[in-house]
Amino acid sequence: MLWLLGIAPAAQALDAAAVKQLAAEDSDSKLEAINKLVTSGDTAALPIFKALQDDVLQVYQGRVVISTDTGVRDALTGEVIDVAGATPEGIVINNRIRGALDSAIASLQLLAPDRAARLAAAKAVALDANAEMLPLIQRAVAQETDAEVKALLAQASAAIELKSPDAARRRLAVQQLALSENPQTKQMLGALLEKGADGAFAEPDAGVRDEARKAIAAIDSRFVLPQVLGTMFYGLSLGSVLLLAALGLAITFGLMGIINMAHGEMLMIGAYTTYLVQLLFRQYFPGAFDAYIVVAVPAAFLVSGLVGVALERGVIRHLYGRPLETLLTTWGISLILIQLVRTLFGAQNVEVENPAWMSGGFALGGDVVLAYNRVVIVFFAAFVVFLVWLLLNRTRLGLYVRAVTQNRGMADCMGIPTPRVDALTFGLGSGIAGLGGVALSQIGNVGPDLGQSYIVDSFMVVVLGGVGQLAGTVIAAIGLGEINKFLEPYAGAVLAKIIVLVFIILFIQKRPQGLFALKGRTVEA
């Protein structure tokens, strides 16, 4: 405390000589003056530094002044000076001084009364600290009351101490860094263990190297859990997207035995519907903008679903019993839909803005952040699966769908209107894809090719999950999402995809009907 009182008087008056020295001709004197002002630890120097940075620090009749909109003021006292129309002479600075100013301002901010300013400054210093700042940082640590800022500052001072010539101090610094919450310190410690071109370690002292290894292990062990949780979550999120994309496909494939190559375009139509609804809200109800998603969900379902019904009635029903031709036809449809969207909306991606409550994220520790929009999508996918389950198991249409899936001929004989069931189911499948499109619009680009990038993956989900099985589709989608995300750090995104494909090919050796085969005599003709 005494020490604190010791610097208190300095806060009252800036070193007038040092301020005057800022106006010196040569850069070295200016740098010296900046250093003097920083080491004084007086935040009153901040406005002067900022003025120098903005080229409004000037000299008038031997006094250092700041010219503002309201007139010219003395830099030391703040007193307004009447320059009587004369122009004060500007103080010229070069890039070296600009750099020094930046770190000087950052250092002084460490002592600012405002917590947010101190936090920002501490973060900046923790990443990029140099030895001259050490005394100031240590002073700031001593008077800091906020725990978060204090931890950051301690880390910054440890990072500087790491370069100290004294091995004992370096060791202490390593121990300090081991407590850090910042994953970047790991790199800093790792650098100590690296060998230079001459084969010598960057850190000469073996004891310090051991300590660094321990510290890295400690940091790793603290970050393992959030890392694993984060990867699991991103796998789940990818799985949810795949699920929304593949669910409709699995239902129609199970029911009609055809693969709809235009299914990806239903995703795209859903995403573009979201885009339009969002535009509409921005134009007419800007106050309720955050609620546009509530309207977009049913709108996308309806639009995609109607397009699906139209396709089934118009084209696909003529092709029953010819699954391979259906593949080609629906591909043709997808080409036309893509080109149509390109003609209507342009080939460029359109921007869909997240509602405010979906942006941002929740920090899990380390650098792992769970984005809110992905969290929402996971819940949304679960909700959709629940609705589909209800529909299939608790409604008359669901009963019909299940009956037709199991045995079309028999269902027909029992008086089930199979053509109508086909059309409605196709619409349902397409509508679910539309919902997937709403979800995709919240996490990625919306463009005419949107569906193409998901179509192969959703086929894989269907192949793996087996046809007409809700549970199989859910498990396959989530499983593929998780496998992909867990492989990615080791193999990279592309190799992960290839590994997954090989895995699927091997898997269907064992279970050609997918995870959950329909029981019964559904031997193919």
In the complex, the smallest distance separating the C-beta of residue 456 from other proteins, rounded to whole angstroms, is 5
Token pair for 237: 């999120």
Q: Does 339 bind other proteins (CB under 8 A)?
A: yes
Q: Does 522 bind other proteins (CB under 8 A)?
A: no
Convert residues 442-461 into a mask of x (bound to other proteins by CB under 8 A) and - (unbound).
Answer: --------------x--xx-
Q: Does 131 bind other proteins (CB under 8 A)?
A: no
Q: What is the 3-state secondary structure (H, E, C) of 500-523?
A: HHHHHHHHHHHCCCCCCCCCCCCC
In the complex, the smallest distance separating the C-beta of residue 460 from other proteins, rounded to whole angstroms, is 6
Token pair for 504: 């699927």
Near other proteins by CB under 8 A: residue from 321, 509, 519, 521: 509
Whether residue 30 contacts residue 97, with contact meaning beta carbons closer than 8 Å, is answered with: yes
Side chain identity at residue 402, one-letter code? R
179: number of Cβ within 10 Å: 15
Near other proteins by CB under 8 A: residue from 207, 332, 360, 417: 332
Rounded to whole angstroms, how far apart are CA atoms 216 and 168? 18
Please list every residue from 482 through 501 that binds other proteins, using CB under 8 A.
Answer: 492, 494-495, 497-498, 501
Near other proteins by CB under 8 A: residue from 117, 120, 315, 443: 315
Token pair for 203: 């850190």
Q: Report which secondary-structure segment, H or E, holds 64.
A: strand 63-68
Q: Does 426 bind other proteins (CB under 8 A)?
A: no
Size of the site for other proteins (CB under 8 A): 41
Burial environment of residue 187 by CB neighbours within 10 A (0 to 12, 13 to 18, 19 or more): exposed
Near other proteins by CB under 8 A: residue from 115, 318, 357, 410: 318
Residues 6+ apart with CB under 8 A from 229: 364, 368
In the complex, the smallest distance separating the C-beta of residue 402 from other proteins, rounded to whole angstroms, is 21
Residues 6+ apart with CB under 8 A from 53: 98, 101, 102, 105
Tokens 């929009």 -> residue: 373
Please say which residue, 55 or 325, places its beta carbon nearer to other proteins. 325
Side chain identity at residue 69, one-letter code? D
Rg (CA), the chain: 33
Q: Does 319 bind other proteins (CB under 8 A)?
A: yes
Near other proteins by CB under 8 A: residue from 157, 329, 418, 484: 329
Please list every residue from 251 through 270 that binds other proteins, using CB under 8 A.
Answer: 253, 257-259
In the complex, the smallest distance separating the C-beta of residue 464 from other proteins, rounded to whole angstroms, is 11
Residues 6+ apart with CB under 8 A from 413: none
Q: Does 505 bind other proteins (CB under 8 A)?
A: yes
Near other proteins by CB under 8 A: residue from 48, 158, 219, 338: 338
Q: Name the site residues for other proteins (rule: CB under 8 A).
A: 253, 257-259, 315, 318-319, 322-329, 331-336, 338-339, 343, 456, 459-460, 463, 492, 494-495, 497-498, 501, 504-506, 508-509, 512, 524
